Amino acid sequence: MTRPGAGAGAGPTEPSHRRCDVGGPERGYAEPVSAEPIPTSPGPWCPDPIRQQRADYTLADLRNLPDDAPRVELVDGVIRVTPSPTLGHQDIASLLWRWLAEHAPRHLRASQAVGVALSANTSRQPDVLLRHAEVDRDRSLLHPADVVLAVEIVSPGTRWTDRFAKPGEYAAVGIAHYWRIEQNPVHVYAYRLGEQPGPAGVPQYELVTDSADVIELTEPFVLKLPVADITP
């Protein structure tokens, strides 16, 4: 028997995202009687598992996420929900953002947790970044050319990503400067794009300086950052 609406070539449409089932009413309690349906809040947003398996999410899907979606990154077509950072991680990010906002020249602006499109199916969110001031403020996804500095604060669950994966990705798209901040104790590693490419001709970063005391640089602007100023 053919189901109504079914026909040759017809098939179910697949949403780009879905609401996770958070369960029904608790057992042991009677449903209230009402002439009108009782509105219920939808479950929390989560990626569609079929699309996750196919790894076919794109930047367009990120732009269409609901407002209540959690912080996510898109890596090779797979959406990765970013876990909530620790208080120490948040404190360092906030202190660094404030320091950069106060000391950066007027043509640069500091931002936090803004997505950067690295390819058609990959977007990362540096913990802190410096961007060109003329970038449209209505945008929620930046291009690599908009960014002059990307900063990642290393947490126990992000060591490999922040030390190896992200700097490789940022360098490959031409982001000129990368800082990695280790915790306990706070230690800043400042990198810039090197003149010599890495394997297969891919750009790579070279270490300029590192310190748990003071970071002095001439790029992306002349600065002298006391590490104590960003230590909680």
Give domain status of residue 44, yes or no. Answer: no
- For the stretch 170-192, pLDDT in tens is 999 999 999 999 999 999 999 99
Residue 199 in any domain: the answer is yes
Q: Is residue 70 part of a domain?
A: no
Range of the domain at 175: 87-230
Higher local confidence (pLDDT), 200 or 19? 200
Its pTM stands at 0.81
Residue 169: give its domain's CATH number.
3.90.1570.10
Residue at 15 is within a domain:
no
What is the pLDDT, as a whole number, of residue 15?
52
Residue 163 has pLDDT above 60, yes or no: yes
Q: What is the pLDDT of residue 115?
A: 96
Give the per-residue pLDDT at 44.
79
At residue 160, what is the residue type?
Answer: W
Residue 48 located in a structural domain: no
pLDDT for 61-115, tens place per residue? 999 998 888 889 999 999 999 888 999 999 999 999 999 999 999 999 999 989 9
In-domain check, residue 42:
no
Whether 192 maps to a domain, the answer reads yes
Residue 59 lies in a domain: no
* Residue 20 confidence (pLDDT): 62
Q: In the chain, how many domains are there? A: 1
